[in-house]
Amino acid sequence: MANMKKSEVLKIVGQNIKRIRLEKGLTQVDLVGKIEARIDTTNISRIEKGRTNATIHTLFKISQALEVPLSEICDVHFYKSE
Instruction: For residues 30 and 33, give the distance between their C-alpha atoms in angstroms, rounded to a whole number.
Output: 5
Angle at 22 between CA 38 and CA 17, to 5 degrees: 55
Report the C-alpha gap between 27 and 56 in whole angstroms. 22
Phi, psi of 24 (to 5 degrees): -85, 0
Is residue 3 at the binding interface for a second copy, with CB under 8 A as the rule?
Answer: yes
Size of the site for a second copy (CB under 8 A): 30
Q: Is 23 in the site for a second copy (CB under 8 A)?
A: no
Shortest spacing between CB 37 and a second copy, in angstroms: 9
Q: Which residues form the interface with DNA (CB under 7 A)?
A: 27-29, 37-49, 51-55, 57-58
Stretch in the footprint of a second copy (CB under 8 A) among 21-29, 38-46, 61-69: 61-69
